[in-house]
Structure 1
Amino acid sequence: MVSRSSCGVCIEHAESTFRVDGLCCHEEAALLEKHLRRLPGLTALSADVVRQQLRVHHDAARVSVTRITEAVAEAGLRAWPHEEDRARPAVARGWSRGLFVSISGVLVAVGAALGAAAAPRWALAAAFGGAAVAGGLPIVRRALAAVRLRTLDINALMLVAVIGAALVGEWFEGATVVFLFALAQWLEARSMDRVRRSVGRLMSLTPAEAILRRDGQDIVTPVDAIGLGEVIVVRPGEKVPLDGNVADGESDVDQSPVTGESVPVPKGRGSPVFAGTINGPGVLEVRVTRRGRDSTIARIIHLIERAQAQRAPSQAWVDRFAQVYTPAVLLVAAVTAILPPLALGAVWSDWIYRALVLLVIACPCALVISTPVAIVSALTVAARHGVLVKGGRHLERLADVRAIAFDKTGTLTTGRLAVTGVYPIGPMDRATVLRLAAAVEARSEHPIGRAVVALARAEGIGVDAAADFRAWPGRGAEARVGRATVLVGNERLLRERGVDSSPAADIIRSSERRGGPAVLVALRGELVGALALGDQVRAESRPVVTELKRHGLAPIVVLSGDSARAAQTTADVVGADEWYAELLPEDKVDAVVHLKARAGTVLMAGDGVNDAPALAAADVGLAMGVAGTDVALETADVALMGDDLRKLPYAVSLSRATLGTVKANVAFSLGLKAVFLLLAIAGMATLWMAVVADMGASLLVIANGLRLLRFRPTA
């Protein structure tokens, strides 16, 4: 994209993404950012340790992609543009590093064997020196880059520790430290690849090509070259390449990649389909409604990337703590090396060795990685199950939710009128009453008419042809079915036409108490039946409310713009604690604010469009059924891509599990650091023990965070 500034200078704005090999800790990310900010033409950049990714906003006319990769190399790392990295075989990314680590380990073992056999010192020096070189070249390269930039990272600290060990005669320990550190970094990179592969599976849901049907011919075409309104063919078992509506054909489509729904959804003419979903047994012709870059899955992926780039509050705290921790430990190490020999006449080599152990402990890698790996794992597994959380901040806030406010219509209920009961009056049977009503309503466009016809078809009842149809707005309709006139409408219509509706009085009152209308059916001027309608409560609503209460959430509140009877009925059916009716959008905002004042952190669940003000007023706004709805995707903090309300308890459980994992990781990392600080000062810890403890802690917190990738819904 090219734009012109106010002074007439052309600025070629670009956003470039790179894979950065070896980016393994927060210090290296900070070092990289510090160095890159010196480049001209950069407007924004961020380095992501978890995904080993660098995102740069820059003026392409002033700083090119090639210059950025060169600058990354100057910082001791290697970078590939995203497109080139995707083309590289995965095996090419780590085999050489693993080979050098193996060589280092073999040489350490050889050196130990030579030492046990009392070999000459030159042989020991060759073995241990070779081990240090084989395993330590990346360490030296990055350490020198850090020193040039006047920064001390883990590589610089480790290099000083190894050189110090060699100077005090601890060759074996120095070589062992290099090998263990290189091995731990390699294992850590392999572990983090699990997170990246999991995220990558989300990023590669859509095919790059589609079958375009044009002028009766099927042409394999890149999705980027397909325009709106064109027709694509999706064969059985293929992924849908673009969002659209079915123009022809019938099939069942697996929407789990987008909505998390476990059961394939039937699709026919006019049904919407989403890119990234998987076609079932039938062939579908789909008329494209969105280009690839604007598809629902593309927007979801963009939001996931944006969410993963955001720092959670716990992560921000850890980063601030690390900025203080490392300098403090370095100061303690300096005092440990100098003060006892000067003040107490202690042996210099002993206290220098203890200070070297402290240098290794000074690295906060395990502490810094403890939070983002858990957050990214949770965001990824949530998206895989149809729950889009817009960042770590919202995930942690979701874990703190104490009360929930539900919008009634479309959230706890289906939001669509449905026939809840068919009641014959007199000798006529139920099926005949429904058949007569459907015959008249088949000519109507009213939601009540559609609900009546839908029930008849669902029950296999044929819809007879009607003639002389006439609609009475606000009252009902009449038509001739066969040779008889049939009226379908409310009390007012029947009264105007001289039909006695008193036999249906109890049915009418019962339906009104439930918040829905009643429709009366008259044949040849006689009342023959009644139909009760209502906005049906979702089958899963009551179990969901029960599950939320089991999680300790209270009160559960229903907010509705409908009548008091409708709101109370829905609240009673689902088991809510409170209900509020006849609310305007601003009234819902007030209700949420008052609920926050007395209950604490509040989640508001709605459709994300009409409830946008209330969702914004809540601590966490959750919209459901938002697949294909841009406004809802942008409005909500948490979005359920499908209409399955059972994903809400899953999201709450996942958020709490994530926060628990983060706290456990931080506590473990800090506790281990504290123990080894004391052991080092007391002279009870060795260099290799410190490396094993520090890098082992990193591996353990990564493994603990990765467990969240297996978090599954309970229902």
Structure 2
Amino acid sequence: MSDSSPAVPPDPDANRTLELRVPDMDCPSCAGKVTNSVERLEGIDALEPQVTSGRLVVEYDPTATSEAEIRERVQAAGYAIDDDSSASELTVSVPDMDCASCANKVANALEGLEDVSAVETRPTSGRVTVTASEGADSGAIVAAIESAGYEAAPLADDAAGSIGDERAVWRSRRALGTAIGGVLVAVGIALEFVVPGIDPLLGTVAGRSYELSHLLFIAAAVVAGTPILRNGYYSARNRSLDIDFLMSVGIVASVAAHHPFEGAMLAVLFSVAELLERFSMDRARDSLRELMDLSPDTATVRRADGSEETIPADDLEIGDTVIVRPGEKIPADGTVLEGQSAVDQSPITGESVPADKSEGDEIYAGTIPESGYLEVAVESEADDSTIARIVRMVEDAEREKTDREQFIDRFASVYTPIVVALAVAFALVPPLLFGASWSYWFLVGLTLLVISCPCALVISTPVSVVSGITSAARNGVLIKGGRHLETAGETDVLAVDKTGTLTEGDLSITDVIPLEGADEDEVLRRASAAERRSEHPIGQAIVGYADEQGVGQNGSDSEPDDDHDLEVSNFEALTGEGVRADVDGVTHYVGKPGLFDGLADLEHAHATTDGGATLSGMGYETTPQCDRECCLDVLTEVVPDLESEGKTVVVVGTDERPIGVIAVADRVRPEAEWAVSRVQEQGIRVVMLTGDNEGTARAIAEAVGIDEYHAELLPDEKLEWIDRLDDGGPDADDNRVAMVGDGINDAPALATASVGIAMGAAGTDTALETADVALMGDDLTRLPYLFELSGTANGVIRQNIWASLAVKAVLAAGAPVGIVTVIHAVVIGDMGMSLGVTGNAMRLANVEPETPDDHP
């Protein structure tokens, strides 16, 4: 049915969204510089820096600013904008690419294509991302990957989350060939070494006798070694000196040099090692698949006519109403419209206790209602849900190599050619120069050839990083890359924000003390009028309390009388101090007591009768008409007393005088003291940085067990303290400083710290995009878990690296004297160590968060 109504032209004044590609904006610090530069423009309504993808999304008012001005501000921050819209990305599934050697072959094959500008291989997930010019032939890209010896298939947009190949390793064609080869070797060994008397002679060639066992060994080398030889051929084509090429040379040379037993053993054992390595890698991939399986495939939608329809979850649109019954997974982020239920949010936040959800509450895709029926209004598309972003970021974490990983890559590029050269030298030099046995030194060279491949060494770091990051994600901690996992484990100092981190951030008004001709209602009314445009939590608390008391500016249940309407203009936020605004034509200030230094002559400040009565109720001696000394008492005695109770004090006044004092309190999180003590037990120094007053800071620090705190800090002063803590003093080495905050107000400090940790990031785009680590729930117990996991991960990585190097060194030293053979090199040096480092990395999945209940 067509709509005959005329089309409505777009509103030229409506807000617009601009997406810019800023490729060099690849860290939180970069994002902070770009956003700070763009925020200077008038009309910027929202900024979303997406560090992982190098994009900046800007929502702006075209009547106040323009696209050209936004671009100019980005460039003024020192970052170029990539306007090449002709480039596109293609993600290809390459399930058999499960090691660094495989990845190098695939990358070499793709680099020869003219249309390809960048190649990103991710062996842990079995995927390749290719950046190519618009209109590039995807078939040519797939063909190039296949020319390297690997099956490949482009991933559709709706399958971008596919990880590797879920087919059973032990039922593959290679497993069958390996089994047949193993049987042939076993029979050959029995004939040659166990019962040689029944090993029939098949004939003599060039004076050398060949028994049936020799034929069986050659057949085993062919059957089990065919995949190796095939991969070795592709390695040679792509000029890749990798394990497949080296093993292929070893197998062919062994058979050609009349050592079929060694060639057969090399083929069978190496093939078994590859299957076991693939099996171990699948275990690592399973942890990624578990994250992807959290979101349901289908959703039940209520249509406008009241009917219900089951559709793919990917087809949900913003504004749809979905029906979720107990036990079903919620298909999209949204808000509860109807019903109530306890919802298991552990897939997102890691919290084991279900959260009660009812009308108006926010809810996340992948979470599960345990009881009760829910109707949810969809507020994000499937690929933009919190769980989808988590999955993308966990996958992207593999892209960024840690410092150790980069070192290992450089080491391997030097180590392998040197050992290969030594292998050739040992095989040729003794026989040629000293007349030594060709057979003996050939086997020595062959053994060194096997040892030369650094497979276990190369995978020791990435498999540990993936295991640690996916384990953390399952427990509600999102780590944005291996570098951040590594740095968190080396943290020396933890800088902690107070509000919203150590405290719950749910502020409430505890005291209202009127002064000089005002009453409580007047103080609240004027404070809320000035604060109504503020986004600061304290200002919002004042506005909310005034509305509850019915004295708020357009905030009570009933509209205020005209006599109570206040005209507010010239609002200005005073960074780190408070706010200023003209209320009924008079400039008012609402902020810290220090804001009023020099603004008023206290000699002319007199408390009112009501003020005196209020003070009397607090234990201060006053008279019905309090003199100026009483006002001095308020600012010099009452304020410190309130602060000593852990309350934040806000003074309300004009240029002439203060008219009232408001005290705000915030509850300390129940788990804060336990979390701080557990972090300190791990050898990390905890320092609290807050913009709050000295008294409140002291009270909170004492309550949670923090010995060092710094109060009344402006945002730039917090940055200075991060730098000071990082320096560690004139006689100390530089520290690694982690900063934990709410992810928005503390963004500059989070970006400056070695590791920025955002609290309560679930559903928060800014925190998810800018923080190095995001604690998805408001749960401080995840903080000691993060440091424990990161420290354990660093230990596992060190163990893997040094164990790999030590085993290689021992095997290399034993080969020339005949202690180490080809079998030892394959079983211990390749298969054993690859399984060892992978199994060691999998231990990270056993690191679980603790809670105060675990240690009563």
Report the TM-score when normalising by structure 1: 0.85
* Amino acid in structure 2 at the alignment position of 1:191: S
Partner of 1:700: 836
Q: Which residue in the other structure is 1:459 paired with? A: none
The equivalent residue for 1:447 is 541
Residue 419 of structure 1 deviates from its aligned partner by 7.5
> Structure 1 stretches of 5 or more lacking a match?
4-8, 422-440, 455-464, 475-491, 520-530
State how 1:657-696 maps to structure 2 within 5 Å.
657-694=792-829, 695-696=831-832
Matched with 2:180 is 103
- Pair 1:535 & 2:666 matched: yes
- Structure 1 residue aligned with 2:709, among 560, 570, 579? 579
2:103 to 19, 29, 32: 29
Task: Say if 1:452 and 1:187 are closer, same or farther in 2 by CA, change over 3 A.
Answer: farther
Letter aligned with residue 691 of structure 2: G
Displacement, 1:59?
3.3
1:713 is matched with which residue?
849
Distance across 2 between alignment mates of 1:449 and 1:638? 33
Q: How does 1:146-295 map to 2 (within 5 A)?
A: 146-215=235-304, 216-295=306-385
Pairing partner for 2:195 from 90, 109, 117: 117
Report the Cα distance in structure 1 between the residues aligned to 2:649 and 2:819, rounded to whole angstroms: 83
Which amino acid counterpart does residue 188 of structure 2 have in structure 1? G
SS of corresponding position for 1:337 = helix
The answer on whether the counterparts of 2:181 and 2:268 sit within 8 Å (CA) in structure 1 is yes
Aligned partners of 1:110 and 1:127 also within 8 Å: yes
Q: 1:504 aligns with which of 618, 624, 636?
A: 618
How far did residue 90 of structure 1 move?
Answer: 2.5
Higher alpha-carbon deviation: 327-336 or 376-385: 327-336
Checking the alignment, whether the CA contact within 8 Å between 1:601 and 1:619 is kept in structure 2 is yes
Report the residue type matching 1:57 in the other structure: T
Contact 1:495 1:501 in 2 (8 A): no
- Offset of residue 513 of structure 1: 2.0
Matched letter for residue 218 of structure 2 = G
Counterpart Cα distance in 2 of 1:538 and 1:374: 33
Deviation at 1:122, TM superposition (A): 4.8
Q: What is the SS of the residue equivalent to 2:94? A: strand
Q: Following the alignment from structure 1 to structure 2, what is the Cα–Cα distance between the partners of residues 514 and 59?
A: 64
Does residue 513 (structure 1) correspond to residue 644 (structure 2)? The answer is: yes
Cα separation, partners in 2 of 1:102 and 1:60, compared to 1, 3 Å: farther
Work out the CA distance in 2 between the residues paired with 1:289 and 1:494.
51
| Contact 1:242–1:292, Cα closer than 8 Å, also in 2 | yes
Distance in 1 between residues matched to 2:270 and 2:293, nearest whole Å: 34
- Flag the 1:89–1:537 CA change in 2: closer, same or farther, 3 A: closer
The letter of the residue matching 1:594 is R
State which of 405, 408, 414 in structure 1 corresponds to 2:495. 405
C-alpha distance in 2, partners of 1:370/1:87? 19
**1:516 and 1:566 in contact (8 A); partners too:** yes
- The offset of 1:595, in angstroms, is 1.3
Structure 1 residue 77 and structure 2 residue 150: aligned? yes
Matching of residue 129 in structure 1 with residue 222 in structure 2: no
Q: Distance in 2 between matches of 1:449 and 1:42?
A: 57
Q: For the residues of structure 1 that align with 2:560 and 2:264, how far apart are their CA atoms? A: 97
Q: What displacement does 1:467 show?
A: 13
Given the two structures, how large is their TM-score scaled by the length of structure 2?
0.71
Q: How many angstroms does 1:170 deviate by?
A: 2.1
* 1:563 pairs with one of 668, 673, 693: 693
> Counterparts of 1:158 and 1:356 in 2: how far apart (Å)?
9
Contact residue 40 and residue 62 of structure 1 kept, 8 A? no
| CA distance in 2: counterparts of 1:466 and 1:199, whole angstroms | 53
Aligned-pair RMSD on alpha carbons? 3.3
Give me the whole-angstrom Cα distance separating, in 1, the residues matched to 2:782 and 2:280.
Answer: 28
The aligned length equals 653
C-alpha distance in 1, partners of 2:432/2:106? 39
User: Match for residue 516 of structure 2?
Assistant: none
Whether the 8 Å contact between 2:757 and 2:772 is mirrored in structure 1 is yes
* Structural mapping, 1:57-72, within 5 Å: 57-59=131-133, 61-64=135-138, 66-72=139-145
Q: Quote the sequence identity (%).
A: 42
Cα distance in 2, alignment partners of residues 22 and 229 from structure 1: 41
Runs ≥4 residues deviating over 4 A? 9-13, 83-89, 418-421, 448-454, 465-474, 497-501, 506-510
Does the CA contact (< 8 Å) of 1:164 and 1:353 recur in 2?
A: no
1:298 aligns to 2:376 (yes or no): no
* CA deviation string 1:538-579 (max 9, x = no partner): 11111111111111112x211111211111111111111222
Once the two structures are superposed, residues 139-198 of structure 1 have per-residue CA deviations (whole angstroms, 9 ceiling, x without a partner) of 011101111222321111112112222233322221111111101110111111011011
| Equivalent-residue separation in structure 2 for 1:136 and 1:69 (angstroms) | 25
**Greater percentage in helix:** 1
Alignment CA distance shift 1:21-1:517 (3 Å): closer
* CA distance in structure 2 between the aligned counterparts of 1:250 and 1:375, rounded to whole angstroms: 39
For residues 472 and 10 of structure 1, the distance between their equivalents in structure 2, rounded to whole angstroms, comes to 54
**Structure 1 residues 361 and 468 mapped into 2: Cα distance closer, same or farther (>3 Å)?**
closer
Give the match's secondary structure for 2:619. helix
Q: Retained in 1: the 8 A contact 2:95–2:165? A: no
Q: Tell me the residue number matched to 2:578.
A: none
SS at match of 2:457: helix
Equivalent residue letter for 2:666: D
Measured after TM superposition, the shift of residue 48 of structure 1 is 1.8
Give the secondary-structure state (helix, strand or coil) at the position aligned to 1:589: helix
CA distance in 2, matches of 1:609, 1:395: 22
- Map of 2:118 onto structure 1: 44
Structure 2 partner of 1:18: 92
Whole-Å separation in 2 of the counterparts to 1:701 and 1:218:
51
| Amino acid across the alignment from 1:362 | S
Residue of structure 2 aligned with 1:54, choices 128, 132, 139? 128
Does the 8 Å CA contact 2:509/2:541 hold for their aligned counterparts? no
- The match for 1:591 is 721
Q: How does 1:608-619 map to 2 (within 5 A)?
A: 608-619=743-754
The AA in structure 2 aligned to 1:311 is: K
Give the AA of the match of 1:562. Answer: D
Shift of 1:36: 0.8
The change in CA–CA distance for 1:301 and 1:21 in structure 2 (over 3 A counts) is closer
Deviations 1:214-244 (A, max 9, x none): 2211111233333222211111111111111
